[in-house]
C-alpha cells in the first residue's frame, strides 16, 4: 500500500506544480505582458496583412504611462470580445483634426477629446475602423502597449514610435 500512496503523492505533487505554473502564466498574461497577433489592413505598414506576432506590456495603462504615438491594445468599443491594435493619437483634452472621408480629403472635423477618453487610429487611414468611425474611446478599454515585434523574423525588434503620423508628438 505504501508504493501506491507514494505514486499518488507524487502525482498530486506534479498536479500542484502544473497548477501553480498555469496560475503564474495566467497572472503574467493578464497583468504583466501578453503575446498577440495583429493582422489585417488597418495597421499597414506597421503590421502585415497576414499577421505579425508581438509582445505587449499591460502596466502602462494601469499607471497612466500611455502617450500619443504608442501602439496600443484596446478592447473594441464595437465588438467587446475583440481586442484590436491601433495607434494612440490623442489623450483627454487634446484636439484632433481628422478627415471624415480620407479618400475625399475636403471635409475635416476637429474634436476635443473628453475627460477619460483617448483617440485611436489605424496607420492605414483608408482601411481602418477607429475613432474616426466610433469617436473617442474610454481610457478603461486600453489593455496594453505593444513594445516588441516577434514575427516575422526580419522585423524582430522594438516597436518604437518611428511610424507616427506626426513626428512632433
Catalytic positions are 42, 86
Query: ∠ CA(90), CA(116), CA(80), 5° rounding?
Result: 90
SS3 (DSSP) at 34: strand
* 117 burial level (CB within 10 Å; 0-12, 13-18, 19+): buried
Which residues is 55 bridged to in the sheet? 35, 148
Amino acid at each position: 500500500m505504501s508504493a501506491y500512496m507514494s505514486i499518488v503523492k507524487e502525482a498530486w505533487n506534479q498536479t500542484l506544480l502544473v497548477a501553480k505554473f498555469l496560475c503564474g502564466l495566467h497572472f503574467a498574461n493578464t497583468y504583466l505582458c501578453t503575446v498577440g497577433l495583429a493582422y489585417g489592413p488597418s495597421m499597414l505598414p506597421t503590421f502585415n496583412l497576414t499577421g505579425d506576432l508581438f509582445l505587449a506590456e499591460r502596466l502602462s495603462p494601469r499607471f497612466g504611462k500611455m502617450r500619443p504615438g504608442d501602439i496600443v491594445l484596446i478592447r473594441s468599443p464595437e465588438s467587446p470580445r475583440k481586442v484590436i491594435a491601433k495607434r494612440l493619437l490623442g489623450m483627454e483634452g487634446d484636439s484632433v483634426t481628422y478627415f471624415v472621408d480620407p479618400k475625399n480629403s475636403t471635409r475635416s472635423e476637429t474634436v476635443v477629446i473628453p475627460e477619460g477618453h483617448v483617440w485611436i487610429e489605424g496607420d492605414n487611414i483608408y482601411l481602418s475602423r477607429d475613432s474616426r468611425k466610433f469617436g473617442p474611446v474610454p481610457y478603461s478599454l486600453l489593455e496594453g502597449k505593444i513594445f516588441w515585434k516577434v514575427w516575422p523574423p526580419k522585423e524582430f525588434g522594438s516597436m518604437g514610435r518611428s511610424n507616427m503620423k506626426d513626428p512632433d508628438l
